[in-house]
Amino acid sequence: MTTMRQRKRREAVVSTQSTGEEAAKVANQAAKALIESRNKLRKEGKVARFGNEDSASLLKRIRERTGKEVAMPEEKKKKNVSLISKLRDFIISKKGVVTTNQVIDEFQDKISVPDNAVFKSLLMELCEFKRENKIGRWYLREKFQS
């Protein structure tokens, strides 16, 4: 004689098994559909396939794609010339040596986030960086001092 509790447990186990089997069936159908879709796209040439290409030809294609020079817009050139002039003048006003904090304090409101990398490269071109007693100092290169 089975109790009510045992019947409920049996029903729960059967229910879980059927749900698990159904989930596996749906997963298998989805995987098959994905494979068929990918194969169709490959046949149409819409999915890149690198398996048959050697590393040398891959590198060549990457160089061709990224190696082309992009002309800088005239507006950006003018902006960079203005920025480098301001930076140079600021460093000269501090006798050719500034700390990193001084540069940040002076230019943080004048430089937008997208221009940070350009600003840093201009600073590195103008100056030589040295760390002294845990303080970063930028020394104006001799060729920019006059």
Percent of the chain having pLDDT more than 70?
63
- b (16+ CB within 10 A) / e for 91-112: beeeeeebeeeebeebbeeebe
- On whether the pTM is more than 0.85, the answer is no
Could you report the per-residue pLDDT of 46-71, keeping only the tens digit for each? Answer: 555 545 555 556 566 666 777 654 45
